[in-house]
Amino acid sequence: MSASPVISQKDRILGGLWGSLVGDALGVPVEFIDRATVQLNPVNSMREFGTHNQPHGTWSDDGAMILCTTDSLQNHEFSLADMGDRFVRWMNDGLWTANGDVFDVGATTSAALRRIVKGIPADQAGGQSEDNNGNGSLMRILPVVLRFSTDPTALFAERIEKVSTITHGHARSRMACVFYGLVVRQLLLGWQPQAALDSARVEFSGRYERSAEFSHFRHILEDNLFSLPEREIFSTGYVLHTLHASLWCLLTTQDFNDCVLKAVNLGGDTDTTGCVAGGLAGVAYGMKTIPADWIHQLARKGDVDCLFHEFADVCEKNGVEK
């Protein structure tokens, strides 16, 4: 194992949370634009307007659902019903939106939340067909990973899968969230990205190798990401594309800025690729490596800062106690 420079646990937790929001906000203005077009005028700072005509520093559904999840964990520790309720309040009432505007809701997420409104329990609401494998649970799973990172692996994975199921109940989506969590858990311990990925591959294989879905993870488990060319990286809304692309961005860069900008400039589902990669890089390199100017430009900085610091304190305390 090769360890990163000493970075406090709290700095890594805050780095992951803020890094996710920053990556999301960097990607919002160019979402759905193809790679070639984005790279003609690559993103290198916070932009305004663009695809969704939003002011700079605006996060999308990704950031809002991360904030709802964080808020839920802070108030109820672990309640799928409460998380589901907060997601519904985001979609219907703008809870934890950047500016009160809900402008981007995935079809699978929307359908699941409408089921909750109709009385379906949150743990049964997520779509379970193969068509329901967008990245809508992967993009919001980080707070669960951070909060329960010191749990035994079986419980850790079980919690992650349950939270995915609120909107995305298919095994492939649930497993993708767990793989992401296993990588983040090692990054929290100070492992270098490649070592964290190698460890996650071993743990994941041991847990899921008998699953019918295991073969779909071949590229995640076998690719030499460090040497993989960009043309073999896909940045669509498919959950395994997002996971693969985000890991590639982490493995082929050496700091937060390069990782998150590389993710956004892949084009396509830029906000989510930026969000997921930003979470990885934020944990790997810590809060202090995220440009202060990017954080300063985010909407509702005071509200978010308060929530994140309180949550990080609980996560840090939980890790020490265990």
Mean pLDDT to the nearest integer, 245-260: 98
59 within domain boundaries: yes
Length of the chain: 322
Interatomic CA distance for residues 283 and 303, integer angstroms: 21
Find the angle CA(67)-CA(267)-CA(174) to the nearest 5 degrees.
Answer: 45
Provide mean pLDDT across the span 286-291: 97
Quick one: DSSP state of residue 230?
Answer: G
User: Nearest Cα to 260, choosing from 249, 248, 247, 251?
Assistant: 249
pLDDT in tens, 187-217: 999 999 999 999 999 999 999 999 999 999 9
Residue 5: the pLDDT is 56
- 300 in any annotated domain: yes
- Looking at residue 52, which CATH number applies to its domain? 1.10.4080.10
| Number of domains observed in the structure of the chain | 1
Q: Is residue 78 pLDDT above 70, yes or no?
A: yes
pLDDT digits (tens, 9 = 90+) for 87-136: 999 999 999 999 999 988 999 999 999 999 999 999 999 999 999 999 99
Average pLDDT, the chain: 96
Q: Which domain holds residue 302?
A: 9-321
Q: CA 165 to CA 183: how far, in whole Å?
A: 20
pTM: 0.96
- Whether 183 is covered by a domain: the verdict is yes
d(CA 181, CA 100): 30
Cα-trace Rg, the chain: 18
Q: Which helix (H) or strand (E) holds 88?
A: helix 80-93
Q: What is the mean pLDDT of residues 266-270?
A: 98
235: confidence class by pLDDT, cuts 50, 70, 90: very high
In this prediction, residue 297 carries a pLDDT of 97
Residue 301 is assigned to a structural domain of this protein: yes
102 part of a folded domain: yes
The model's confidence at residue 316, banded by pLDDT at 50, 70 and 90, is: confident
- Asked if the structure places residue 1 within a domain, the reply is no
Mean pLDDT of 251-279: 98
